[in-house]
Amino acid sequence: MSADEKALPPPVPFLRAARAVFDLSLEEMVWSRKSLVMAGLLLMPVALAVLFRLVANLKHAPAGIDLYGLVVAMYYLRNALPLAALFFATALIADEVEGRTITYLLSRPVSRASILCGKFAAYVVTTLTLTLPGIVVCFFLLVTLRGFSGVAAFVPDLLRDLAVAALALCAYGALFTLLGVLLKRPTIPGLVFLVGWESLANLPGWLPRYTVTAWVRSLISHRPVDEGLAELFQTTLPAGEAVVVLVAITILGLAGAYGIFSRRQFVLDQ
Amino acid sequence: MPIYDQRYRRYEARNPLRELRFWPITREALKLVVARRAFLLLLVAAWIQFVARTIQVYVVTRFPDAGRVLPVDGRLFGEFLSGQLGFALLVSVFGGAGLIANDLRTGAILVYLSRPLTRVDYILGKLAALMSLNLFVTLAPALMLWIVAVSLAPEQFASLKLMWLPLAIVLHSLVISLAMGLMALAVSSLSKSARVAGLAFAGLFIGLEIARGVLRGMFRTPETGLISLQGNLHALGNALFGIQHRFFNQPWPLAALALVVMAALCLWVLRARVRAVEVVQ
Q: Is B152 exposed, middle or buried (0-12, 13-18, 19+ CB in 10 A)?
A: middle
| DSSP letter assigned to residue A202 | G
What's the pLDDT at A117?
Answer: 93
pLDDT at B31 over 80: yes
Flag if B247 and A71 touch (Cβ within 8 Å): no
A222 touches chain B (CB under 8 A): no
- Given a cut of 70, whether residue B138 has pLDDT beyond it is yes
Look up residue B222 and give its DSSP letter. Answer: G
What pLDDT is stored for residue A165 in this prediction?
Answer: 95
What pLDDT shows up at residue A248? 96
**Among candidate residues A75, A154, A180, A167, the one with its CA nearest the CA of residue A128:** A167
Asked if residues B199 and A189 have their Cβ atoms less than 8 Å apart, the reply is: no
Residue A98 contacts B, CB cutoff 8 Å: yes
pLDDT, tens digit only, all 270 positions of chain A: 555 556 677 788 888 999 999 999 898 888 887 888 888 888 989 998 898 888 876 667 777 788 888 889 888 998 899 999 999 999 888 888 877 888 888 888 888 999 999 999 999 999 999 999 999 999 999 888 877 777 888 889 899 999 999 999 999 999 999 999 998 888 889 988 998 888 888 888 888 899 999 999 988 887 776 655 555 556 788 889 999 999 999 999 999 999 999 888 877 665
The domain locations on chain B are 19-59+67-273
Q: Mean pLDDT throughout B127-135?
A: 95
Using a CB-CB cut-off of 8 Å, the residues of chain B touching A79 are: 206-207, 210
**ipTM score here?**
0.78
**Are the beta carbons of B93 and A188 separated by less than 8 Å?**
yes
Q: How many C-beta neighbours within 10 Å does residue B220 have? A: 12
Residue A138 contacts residue A68 (beta carbons within 8 Å) = yes
For residues B125 and A163, give the distance between their C-alpha atoms in angstroms, rounded to a whole number: 48
Instruction: Compute the radius of gyration of chain B from its Cα atoms.
Output: 23
Burial class (CB in 10 A: 0-12, 13-18, 19+), A268: exposed
pLDDT of residue B80: 92
pLDDT in tens, B91-110: 999 988 889 999 988 888 88
* Chain B residues close to A70, C-beta within 8 Å: 213-214, 217-218
Is residue A223 within 8 angstroms of chain B, CB to CB?
Answer: no
Enumerate residues 6+ apart whose C-beta is below 8 A from A121: A18, A22
| Interface probe with B: pick from A67, A79, A92, A127, most Cβ of B within 10 Å | A79
Please report the pLDDT score of residue B244 as a whole number: 80
The length of chain A, given as a count of residues: 270
